[in-house]
Amino acid sequence: MLEISQIPIALDDATTEQSLLDACRDAAQRTLRCKASDITSVQLHKTSVDARKKRDVHVVASARIALRTPGLERSVLTRLSKRDTARVRLVEEEPVCFPSPLPAACLPKRRPVVAGAGCAGLFAALTLSEAGLAPLLIERGDDAARRKHAIDRFHRTRQLDTQSNIQFGLGGAGTFSDGKLNTGTKSLSHRLILQTLVDAGAPREILWDAKPHIGSDILPDVVTHIVERIVELGGEVRFRCRLTDIERDTTGAVSAVTLACEDANAVEEERLPVTHLVLACGHSARDVFALLQRRNFALERKTFAMGVRIEHLQRDIDRAQYGEAAGHPALGAAPYKLVAHLPNGRNLFTFCMCPGGEVVAAASEEGGVVVNGASLHARAGRNANAALLVNITPDDLPGNDPLAGVELQRSCEKAAFELAGGDYRAPAQLVGDFLDNRPSTGSGRIEPTYPLGVAWTKLDSVLPPHVIETLRAGIPALGKKLRGYDDPEAVLTGVESRSSSPVTVVRDRTCHSLGAQGLYPCGEGAGYAGGIMSAAADGIRCAQSLIDDLR
């Protein structure tokens, strides 16, 4: 196929998949100087919005074009104009697929266990299932439907289910945080992941959108369908089932795990002999980190980030990003991604921006307040929100305990809980008040969306001093990059403490935990991913390493 990039498309011609395809077909005829009958198929490869000039906001696309014969494709390349040579290339990519079933002689005596049904664990378990290994997938939280009920109950009663919440349950933390699929990582498995999500019910446009997302209203059904596929292939999935111990033999290899599974409100422990364990526990499984430390697995501190959520009116973000084109149906709610490099040597950056979304209550431990963000697929909410974060490096932490970052997170979450009144309200402050170092007493034109309510206050006491200092210096700098970002009535809500894991479960190049044959630390919790796509790709990678060990 031929791939044509940098195809400009007017907004009015970019409102549907068919209109995008028609525009790409017309561009292909002009660029390739061929007849319409020479083109046998057109596939959208990527689309993005070019808003650099506010008077000319448009879509830029790349498309893959199949011509009648491969020979014609090569001859077309020789007659391209000089300007178009850099925009057209021949692509001959082999599709990436899940592995075929292993021969019976390669199957292990004991089925592999995957701990954690977030994106890393799901795709690890799916890969193992496709290979005929019939894994056991355990998840400490609930399936999607019961998990939603647990979250709704928390909102109504303020009774937190510490096993099933925004952090824990089928799909992991990503299920209720918009389902953004853009990633800065590169992996040959990305297309396979996207196609798997589409096959499970995700919108087709994620296959070509440069900033794809699914939405927290659709993603629960998608991950449910992936679980159904795992079971269909012979795997087993147990919910409300926690990993409580890992045993090793005299060589250091994994030999058994202990599981604590709930059944009819009773918890039963089961010791299960096992030789292969994919550990995809997620960045909030602090009890698992403590277990690994107690059992002398290799752990290291890693850089993570903490800060607050900031909320603006979405219409203000749309105007700042798109100018007069704001509101066009081809654009939707505008996203942003910002960073400020500051004189103090720190950076302030945005993360997990949720257009038209809401701030969510993401606590998983009693007596702590944690915020995150989410959007539904339509992104039609009144507010935009994003994490405003500052890095915490290992050098910022005291002592040499690899879990010192966990303790810092926990202390800030507890401080936020107590400052806001001890009932899971979140502490909040207006940007103008924060910059002037005075407490807030109420909202302006931007109403906070945190579902349990906010307590207006000062945020200085709930985050490390260097984080507060960097927020104060960085917000005005971001206002110079995106008009109105430092709006005095924008709302800051704390604390955003779970954007990434503060721990690395150290592994080698073949994904084995150091000194622990048979343990495959995986995904965000182990320190090897930073979002849905990178976590899913790491799940596939770890599963493939396990499969290679069996060959």
- Partners of 248 in beta bridges: 254
**What pTM was computed for the model?**
0.96
- Is residue 122 within 8 Å of residue 226, measured between CB atoms? yes
Tokens linked to 506: 């150290």
Predicted pLDDT of residue 59:
98
3-state secondary structure of 350: strand
pLDDT of residue 538: 97
pLDDT for the residue 290: 98
CA distance 335 to 157: 33
Spacing of C-alpha 265 from chain mean position: 32
Are 354 and 384 in contact by the 8 Å Cβ rule? The answer is: yes
**Distances in Å between the alpha carbon of 273 and those of 248, 330, 520?**
10, 54, 16
Rounded to whole angstroms, the Cα distance separating 176 from 37 reads 46
Tokens of 284: 């909030």
Tokens coding 357: 């979304």
Sheet with 519-521, side-by-side order of all strands: 236-239, 136-139, 113-115, 277-279, 519-521
What is the pairing mode between strands 236-239 and 136-139?
parallel
Q: pLDDT value at position 79?
A: 83
* pLDDT at residue 103, as a whole number: 95
What pLDDT shows up at residue 45?
96
Q: Quick check: 551 and 106 in contact, CB under 8 A?
A: yes
Using DSSP bridges, classify how beta strands 426-430 and 454-456 pair: parallel, antiparallel or unpaired.
parallel
Question: DSSP string spanning 379-446?
Answer: ---SEEEEEEEEEE-GGGSSSS-TTHHHHHHHHHHHHHHHHTTSSS-EEEEEHHHHHTT----S--SS
Structural tokens at position 405? 């970052």
> Could you tell me how far CA 415 lies from the centroid of its own chain?
27
Give the integer Cα–Cα distance in Å for 324 and 311. 22
Q: How far apart are CA 11 and CA 76, in angstroms?
A: 29
pLDDT of residue 444: 96
User: Packing angle between helix 219-232 and helix 190-199, nearest 10 degrees?
Assistant: 100
How far is CA 231 from each of CA 128, 240, 381, rounded to the nearest angstrom? 12, 17, 36
User: CA 456 to CA 116: how far, in whole Å?
Assistant: 37
Q: pLDDT value at position 223?
A: 97
- Beta bridge mates, 266: 263
The string of DSSP letters for 164-202 reads SSSSSSTBGGGGGTTTB---S---TTHHHHHHHHHHTT-
pLDDT in tens, the chain (551 residues): 899 999 999 999 999 999 999 999 999 999 998 888 999 999 999 999 999 999 999 999 999 999 988 778 888 888 888 888 889 998 887 888 999 999 999 999 999 999 999 999 999 999 999 999 999 999 999 999 999 999 999 999 999 999 999 999 999 998 987 778 887 777 889 999 999 999 999 999 999 999 999 999 999 999 999 999 999 999 999 999 999 999 999 999 999 999 999 987 789 999 999 999 999 999 999 999 999 999 999 999 999 999 999 999 999 999 999 999 999 999 999 999 999 999 999 999 999 999 999 999 999 999 999 999 999 999 999 999 999 999 999 999 999 999 999 999 999 999 999 999 999 999 999 999 999 999 999 999 999 999 999 999 999 999 999 999 999 999 999 999 999 999 999 999 999 999 999 999 999 999 999 999 999 999 999 999 989 999 999 999 999 999 999 98
Residue with tokens 């973000």, as numbered in its chain: 317
Nearest Cα to Cα of residue 15 among 313, 327, 356: 327
Edge-to-edge, what's the strand order for the sheet holding 266-273? Answer: 241-248, 254-263, 266-273
